[in-house]
Structure 1
Amino acid sequence: MVDSVTSEEAATAGAGAATAVLTAPLSLDGGLAAELQPANLVQRVLSLFGNVRPGSDLSHLQLPATFNLPKSQLQLYGEGVYCIGEDYLRRCANGKDSLERFAAVVGWSISTTRPPIFGLAPYNPVLGETHHVSSGSLHVLLEQVSHRPPVSALHATDDSCDVELVWCQNPVPKFHGTSVEATVEGKRHVKLLKFSENYDIDCPNLLIRLLPSPSVEWSGTVSIVCKDSGLEAQVCYYRSHTFLGLSGDPRCVKGKIFHSASQETICEIHGHWDRTVSLKDAQTGNVSVLYDARSAIADLKTPVVRNQEGLSPSESAVVWSEVSDAILTKDWERSREAKRRVEDTARRLDKERSDKGEVWIPKHFSLSQDKHGHWEYWPLQKSVPPAPIIVPP
């Protein structure tokens, strides 16, 4: 067993004092990430894969700091939940019937899709790293519960609308010669407690095209299932094609809501996840707006520290504070040195645990693997407490 002091030592390597550096979330206009892209980014990205074989797993590829967003992957996962302009999560708990609530969950799942940025990636979280943020009455807590493979767990609860989110995600990026595809393994669970409804949701894949034209987009089919109501949905993220087969819009979505037992289609889903997505009643033909990206993910607010003393040494914004500060000021030498300190210390502590035969124990989650290699996980606390970092109202 490894106690929490050791876990915080690993997470705070190189962070110094508990000072958090928080940066703007990915939003509809790209925001900070778009400003950080250098002019020669495409050539530099292509050079990274010169000696990588097709089919290689890139989960543990260590990127130079010049390719990093100034934030951890844990923060990106969290931002998809707590950084939003319109509260799509509350709609899920306020639906008047099971179909309305199910459609709201579909809309919420689309709201977690944020514009990816070509050539820039977040930091790989170190083992034991955490991220804890509140937005109004919603409290979100994440922890990096495994390093090999890299697994991130999330637990979120809302004080006022009886919603709970639990998930455990493992991104598996692979190089395919002219592209990189990141498959996100694991399901997201949305629980509407007062209705005793549980929803299981997949994640879309992230596809990075290197040739012939560099781009990054979401792809694949997301399945959403509620066994309690007998409803199911499939939402496909895809690139449209124009006349003569030329590539068109990469941000299209289409799908349907249907009865699991009969497979009868109830509603059709169609639109663009960066604009609007419509819901069409299969019987009446009535069309309504399921999701509006402008209201959901435009002009998002940057989280701020409300309680400096309450910051955990393992907080992502603390762990990577010096690296992020150096990237923001484009001090690349300092960013490289600071990043190396964090990663080297995490590797050293991992070796020390291995030499002693110690097993890592997460602080906020209990987890195990079944015989098929799938992760099973449970939050140790019933609810998430208010966080020292908040999203301004």
Structure 2
Amino acid sequence: MELIQKVGKQLIEGKDVVSVSLPVRIFEPRSTIERICDNWAFMPIYLRMAANTKDQLERFKLTISYAVAGLHNACKQMKPFNPILGETFQGFWPDGTSICIEHTSHHPPISHFYVEDQQKKFSYFGYYEYKARLKGANSVLGSQDGPNHVLFYDGQEIIFSYPPCKITGLLYGTRVLEWFDQMVFRDEKNDLECILSFEQPGGYFYKAQNPTDFFIGQIRKISDKNNIICEVKGSWLDYLMFDGKKYWDIEIVEPAGVIWVDKPLSSDCRYRQDLIFLAQKDLEQAQEWKTRLEVIQRHDRKLRNDNNNKK
């Protein structure tokens, strides 16, 4: 009840859901810019395979496989900490693929990222703008808006965006995450497009025809929408198939874990005191530092705004 009252008061005051201050006990000891790597956990597997083939269509399929496979890995019960302006994260996967992320804007909240294969066969870059809004009293609609660029060594580039998600049971009841709407992949150079449509969550007047983790789509020519190359279907909790051939199976393909670099920049999120104390299960100190950092952010933002108004 304390949590409901605290959040409700801030929302009544007009605060955006992303900026609402929450008690530290519902957090995990990671920043959002570290946790987004969970979505990318299949990158070393599928993009490595994609880089090792010269078949543009096969690369397109493997890139889709990478992105879809990571959706289930993004589902976590605990909330990550909102990143601070200028905060960074550096890591790498066991195959040597490097990860660099920086939180570049406080309002709106935006993080830029750059990932590079050790052999420079592919790079992955873009940015996310974090958005969230209430849907009823106990649900939130959220998204990581922004382009994901996959650039291979020979110039083939695939751009895609993640779908929005709905979280119910935010304050009470069973917590459920569902991806919905569409996920769009495009390769302009090779005239390829894929639109995956996710089953819409049911409601009072509508019953979902399939489980909400189900999706269907097609790979087709951008220049000719009627030129269908193959059919796509699957479940983001289970599998992905192209024309009946399974490319991802959750029971077979294991996600890769991120390894921290030994000597990160001084701005790295792992140096945040609130995260450090929470990892040590010292909730009192974690809450105190979280509040302190939020006050500093508000003060810094005021200084930036005052300076901009003088120009």
Q: TM-score of the superposition, structure 2-length normalised?
A: 0.85
Q: Which residue of 1 aligns with 2:245?
A: 288
> Which residue matches 2:265?
312
Q: 1:200 to 1:85 in 2, by over 3 A?
A: closer
Partner residue of 2:49? 91
1:53-72 pair list within 5 angstroms: 57-72=16-31
Identical aligned residues as a percent: 22
Cα 1:47–1:238 change in 2 (3 A) is: farther
Q: Distance in 2 between matches of 1:292 and 1:333?
A: 42
Among candidates 64, 79, 84, match of residue 106 of structure 1: 64
Could you say if the C-alpha distance between residues 59 and 297 of structure 1 is closer, same or farther in structure 2, counting changes exceeding 3 Å?
Answer: farther
Provide structure 2 residue ranges, at least 5 long, that are not aligned to the other structure. Answer: none
Q: Which residue does 1:373 correspond to in 2? A: none
Higher relative contact order (CA 8 A, sep 6+): 1
Residue 56 of structure 1, CA deviation:
6.8
1:346 aligns with 2:297: yes
**What is the SS of the residue equivalent to 2:21?**
coil
Q: Please list the CA deviations of residues 278-305 of structure 1 after superposition, one character each: whole Å capped at 9, or x if unmatched.
A: 111xxxxxx211222344455x546345
Flag as ranges the 4+ runs of structure 1 deviating above 6 A: none
Q: What's 1:249 paired with?
A: 211
What are the within-5 Å matches in structure 2 for residues 310-389 of structure 1?
310-319=263-272, 322-357=273-308
Deviations 1:301-350 (A, max 9, x none): 46345x2xx2211111222xx32343334322111012122222233333
Other structure's SS at 1:174 match? strand
Q: 8 Å contact 2:140–2:166 — kept in the other structure?
A: yes
* Alpha-carbon distance, 1:256 to partner: 1.3
Instruction: Give the Å deviation of 1:232.
Output: 0.2
The answer for the alignment partner of 1:237 in structure 2 is: 198
Aligned residues: 300
Measured on the aligned residues, the alpha-carbon RMSD in Å equals 2.9
The correspondence for 1:266, drawn from 215, 229, 247, is: 229
| 1:223 to partner: Cα distance | 0.6
**Could you give the per-residue CA deviations for residues 5-54 of structure 1, whole angstroms, max 9, x where no partner exists?**
xxxxxxxxxxxxxxxxxxxxxxxxxxxxxxxxxxxxxx67655553436x
Q: 1:234 touches 1:255 (CA, 8 Å); kept in 2?
A: yes
For residues 185-236 of structure 1, the C-alpha deviation after alignment (integer angstroms, 9 at most, x for no partner) is 2111111121x11111011112112388642222220110000000000112
Q: 1:212 to 1:67 in 2, by over 3 A?
A: closer
Counterparts of residues 76-155 of structure 1 (less than 5 Å): 76-81=35-40, 83-84=41-42, 87-113=45-71, 114-118=73-77, 120-135=78-93, 136-155=95-114
Matched residue SS, 2:180 = strand
Aligned with 2:194: secondary structure? strand
Deviation of 1:131 (Å): 0.7
Q: TM (normalized to structure 1)?
A: 0.68
Q: Aligned partners of 1:68 and 1:205: how far apart in 2?
A: 21
User: Is residue 169 of structure 2 the alignment partner of residue 222 of structure 1?
Assistant: no
- Letter paired with 2:23: P
